[in-house]
Each structure stands twice: as structure tokens, then as C-alpha cells.
Amino acid sequence: MYPELTQFKNWLKCQYSNSSASVHYSSDLALFFSFVKKPPSKITPQDVDRYISRSLRQGHRSSTINRRLSALRTFYYFLSIICDSPLTCPALPRHRLRKAHPLPHVISDADIQTLFAYIDSPRDTAMFLLMLECGLRVGEVHHLSMDDIFLENPSHLIVHGKGGKQRIVYLSPPTQEALQGWLNNRPVSNDRAVFISEHGKRLTVAGIQYLLRGHCEKAGVKLTAHQLRHTFGSRMAEAHLPLTSLQSLLGHKDIRTTQIYIHLSGGYLQAEYDHAISRIGTPRPAGNSNNNTKSQYFPEAKAVDFIGYLDKLPGWLAEPIGAYCSRYSLVKDPIQQTRNRLSQLTSVLRFLVSYYAITCSTDITPKLWFAFAETRLKSGIKPASLNTTLRILQTFLKFVSDSGHPVCERMLEVRPLKTSEPLPRAITEAQLNRLLKLANPFDYAWILLMAHSGLRTCEIRNLRWQDVDLRRRTVHIEESKGLRSRIVFLSTPTLNALGQLPKTSEWIFTYNKQPLSSRYCQSRLKTIGKKCDLQVTPHQLRRTCATMLLNAGMSIFGVQAILGHKYVDTTLRYARVHDSVVAKDYQQAIKAVTQKKSARSLL
């Protein structure tokens, strides 16, 4: 292997002396260089592209690939320090993959009882109870020392977490009893570790995981050490522990990480949802047909027609467009994403080629972009849509630049057009009911899923029966927009509507025995809307869900969890508090303030 890697490994041991990062980074770099088979000075961004594509084909997660790329960036940072002629890092910002945000897997009470019934070792019982009832990570159990234990009231531990951060964790009575039982029987050892092996040495992380797998095999259950920690987080959220306190107990740096457990505390969130949705009236569906009244056909294309999109574009543009739009992608519907990229990109480039006869990528300048934007604005295109086109054009030009071709650097600095912030385009509850009265049972079901549960169009199209639990009245949305997973709840009308649909396919909603096309919901809403003199889009139904739930008394954080937004500010842009609700809240608040003033004046 290359001498720079050996030097880097020694530097890592100094830089991360109290962390396992040196081991992981060294391993990650060894994997990368065994694939590219080139010295560090010869690595190109295209080599990184090939490595990412190969890793995705092998089924590696985006988080794993990002960690390996982080090791590569750190390596080139190290080279920039020690080398007289610093090398340019080939891992570019565009190589960072979107991370998936799946919901943590929580263990059922039955599996927990079964597992602990088969654990007969005082040491192992104490170890796994620390994870289950105190939320410790397996690495934190491994690092736990005798000096970190304080069994006086309140009994607690000092835990050494990720990044060298320390926190205090409190012991439940069963955990304290189990830990005391192990300490009473712990063999004498020179090692200050709480949990030691039969040889008197500190148990390794791999050793703890091996012990858990052995107990799981005997009990006939499947779970991991980290699932025990997730179960603790979920239980605490269900017990209404404040989010900030849960964040402290789990040792999370960002409270958004802790918020994921709100999704898992089904009873708490569902009670809030049920209270809000019960205040919203819903009419019954019209007719008995489970299909559409009009014979329309919406084909589901199996591949992208690159030739059609690239027609009349010169070869020097067609080739990089094809490479850019067919890059690796982690979205649920990569074909639709590729179509969207092609449509946005080729529309602006075809305009520039037709009107300005550009002959190379350096000819694409801000002056030409603003000429295109002015023309499109006059034709009625919204600034927000043009900003989407600008973003795609700039990322395309950055891709061309990273591939070694010159571009106009000023084009990458163009700022988006200023956009206004109109009120959210939700429809009223009365307008929603007019739509529902005219919808057949098939359309009625998916309209309610969007308006009562906040599903997106792509989530409707990808929904399968296995994702729906009619008994618990929940739907599991797997890695949707931003690769975020969440659990949403079903209102009683939605539950009844789904119960009446035939189960003729693994997909809940099909048309002509095929999953719905990307245009189906929009087309049907347009047709139904014409009958009741409404112009409605699918996304307005999702905004309507946010507005109705908020005004029916659900907290903004509850609405955020239902819609699956990363930031609460996004939810606030979706939902508008009605003036009547603001007035009512104000009257109640001012009444409480007045009563407090009166009480203080009597003292």
C-alpha cells in the first residue's frame, strides 16, 4: 500500500486518541484504494463516482458511503498539511449522498420478556438492562468503569458518550438491583471496567454484541443492542417525558435526533391526532363504484426516453446531460426524478441553443439566463418554478466543471429570484367536503389519506397493504421525501374507506391493474373539482391537513411529525392559524392574565 496511508494512520491515532475513528477511517481508506488501484495523486472525481455506484450496487447504505467519503476527505486534509504541494480532494460536495432516516426499530414487550427469561447471568442481565432502561449505547456499556457508578440516592452513572461527551444517567430500581447483584459477585480484577470477561479483562463491544446474539438465539428472538436503546427512547416518549429531558438522557447533540421518538410514541401522538380529527366532519363517498367513471388511461412508463428529451440538442450538450441525469440516486422513484431533471434542464438549454446559438458550456452566461427568465416570467411561469430550473442548471454546470470541462464561473454565483410568501393555498373544510361528496369510493379513500393524514402524491402511489395496520389505525411511510420515514394515523372515515377497497394487488391504489401514474391524482382532482367549481391540486390537500389539524387543537410539533417535515418552520409555512382561533386563544390568555392580576391585588 502507499506510504501516505501509513503516515495517515499514525496521525489518526494521535488526532483521535479517545475514539474508534482511527480504526474505521483506516479501514474505509483501505477499501477505497483497493477499488481504485491508483496512488493518491492520480485519484479523480470520476473515480469517486465509480466507487459510489459500485457501493450502491452492493447494497451499502448512504450513511456508510458518506462515512467512507469523510475518511477520504480527512485523508486529503492530512496531505494538505504534510505535503509541500497539496493535492485537491477528489470527493466533491456533490458526492455526499442523502442519508436515509428510517424509524428506529422498537422491541415488543413480549420479545423483551422472552429474552430476559433466558438470560441467567447477573453480568449480562445488568448490561442489557442498562441499555433497555437507561438508554446506554453498547460502546458506553463497554467504557463504563467502577468510578462512574454512584448507587446512593439518586442512584446514577456518569456515562462517557460519543465525541467524549459525558452525561448523567439515572438507574431504575430493577437496573440498580441487577447492577448491585453483579457487583456483589464480580470477580476481583485489576481492570476497573464494570463488565469484565472470565479472564478478568474489560468486555469489548464485539464481545457484548456476541453475548446478546447468543441469548437471542436461545430465546428465539431477533434484536440488536441498539434496539434496546431505541426501546428506551420510545418508552420515555410514551410516558410524556419532556423532549429536552429525553435528549439529555440519551446524549443527543441535536434535539431533532431526539424528536424521532415522538414518531414511535404512538399512543401519545395518536391521542392528540384523534382529538383533533374528531372535530372535523366528513361526508360519506358518492356511489358504489371502485373505479373511475371516465375511461381514462394513464400509462406507467418503464424507462426514460432520453432520445425524446435530447432531440435537437447538439452532441456536446447531449452527452453531459445524459451523464448528469442518469447519476446514482437514492429516491423512491428514480425514473420520475430523472424525467423531472431532463424536463427542467433541456427546456432552458433548448431555448439558449435556439435563440443564442451557444457552441460550448462557457457560452452559458448570467446574461443569457436572465433573458430566459424574463421570457418565461412574461409567459406566466412563477419565480419559484424558475428557481428550481436555476438550481438544476447550476448543479449541471458544476457537474460539467467537475468532469474537467470549462464553464462560466459567474453562472454558478447567480442568486435565485425573489419570491413572495403568500398564504398557504389550503382549501376550506367546506370545500373539502364538496369534493368528497362527488368522489367515488376509490378516489374518496386517497383524498382522505391526503387531507386527514397528510400523505404526499408519491406516498399514495407507493402505498402497499403491508404498510397499513388497520387494527392499530396506522400507516408506515418508508423513506419518503428526504429519505425520511414516519408513522401516520388514520381517521375513522379513512379507515372505513380503506376497508371497503378490494385487495387485488400488493398496492392499495391501482388503475388498469397498474400502480397509479404520477399524473393520476392531479387529473382526478381536476375532474372532480370542475363538478363543484373548485381548482384543487394534490398538494393543497396536504396543506389542508396541516391547517385543519392545527386549528382543531393539535400542537405544531404533532403536525410536524404527521407531515414528516425536518424543520418545524416548514410546517408553520404549511399551516395557517385561522383568525377566529387566534382571537379565541387571545381572549383565553387575556382572561387568565386579568385573573392573575386580580388575585395579586388581593394579597
Active site residues: 137, 162, 226, 229, 252, 261
Between CA 473 and CA 477, with CA 476 as vertex, the angle to 5 degrees is: 135
List phi, psi (to 5°) of 476.
-95, 115
Cα dihedral across residues 355, 357, 359, 364: positive or negative:
negative
Q: DSSP for 269-330, please give it.
A: HHHHHHHHHTTS--PPPSSS-SS-SS-------SS--HHHHTTT--HHHHHHHHHHHTS---
Residue 486 DSSP symbol: E
Distance, in Å, from the CA atom of 51 to the CA atom of 68, rounded to the nearest integer, reads 10
- CA 281 to CA 493: how far, in whole Å? 9
- Give the C-alpha separation, 441 to 498, whole Å: 9
Instruction: Answer yes or no: are the C-beta atoms of 140 and 160 closer than 8 Å.
Output: yes
Residue 464: helix, strand or coil by DSSP? strand
C-alpha cell at 412: 454558478
Spell out a b/e string for 318-334, using b for 16 or more CB atoms within 10 Å of the CB, else e. Answer: bebbeebbeebbbbbee
DSSP H or E stretch at residue 441:
helix 441-453
Q: Is 268 exposed, middle or buried (0-12, 13-18, 19+ CB in 10 A)?
A: middle
Contact assessment for residue 22 and residue 16, using Cβ atoms and an 8 Å cutoff:
yes
DSSP SS3 for 476: strand
| Pairwise CA distance, residues 173 & 193, whole Å | 22
Task: Please check whether residue 452 is in contact with residue 494, taking contact to mean a CB–CB distance below 8 angstroms.
Answer: yes
Among 224, 189, 163, 190, CA closest to 19:
163
Residues with Cβ within 8 Å of 256's Cβ and at least 6 positions away in sequence, in order, are 566
Query: From CA 421, how far away is CA 418, in angstroms rounded?
Result: 10
Q: Taking the alpha carbons of 80, 83, 84, 87 in that order, is the dihedral positive or negative?
A: negative
Tell me, what amino acid is at 38?
A: K
Q: Which residue is associated with the grid cell 391547517?
A: 547
- Cell for 31? 477499501
Cis preceding-peptide flag for 154 (omega within 30 of 0): yes
- HSE, CB side, 13 Å, CA atoms: give it for residue 167: 20
